[in-house]
Amino acid sequence: MDKEERENSFKAQLVSVLKDLNKNGVKDKQAMMLIGNLAGQFIDLAGMKNWTDLKAITTKDQFKNMLSAMQSEGKKLQDAGNIKAAYAVQAVAVSLVSNTMKDPDTLKGRDLLDDLINQAYYLSKRENLSKQN
């Protein structure tokens, strides 16, 4: 598979994730919490305020480590039948990889997905704080 084919394949995956999240995910509080909590682990560890800011400062090595961790965790969750959590990992991983793309349409999709992940992160922080009080 050449570079253009890989980019087209990724674009199709990004569109699929966005469509599904817009149709089902945003209505599913548990799915949004899973996405927000996963992104939050990386955001909080880096001391950043949101997912978009974290991705903006991620080095190549950090990118590789984050993607590797997500691939490993996603496979474990999938194998265990925890489909919703595996899907959350996929959504965050797709967002991470989208930063490596140059196509203007892909970048628009990336921005939409990043906004959704940021909102999921804020939701999860708010929910987690309310459970502590």
Output the pLDDT for position 133: 63
Neighbours of 10 (CB within 10 A): 18
Residues of the chain above pLDDT 70, percent: 99
- Confidence at 4, pLDDT banded by 50, 70, 90: confident
pLDDT, averaged across the chain: 93
Predicted TM-score (pTM) of the model is 0.92
Nearest to 10 by CA among 103, 116, 115, 112: 103
Does the structure show a pLDDT above 80 at 44? yes
Which residues make Cβ contacts (< 8 Å) with residue 43, sequence separation at least 6? 49, 50, 51, 53, 54, 121
In this prediction, residue 1 carries a pLDDT of 77
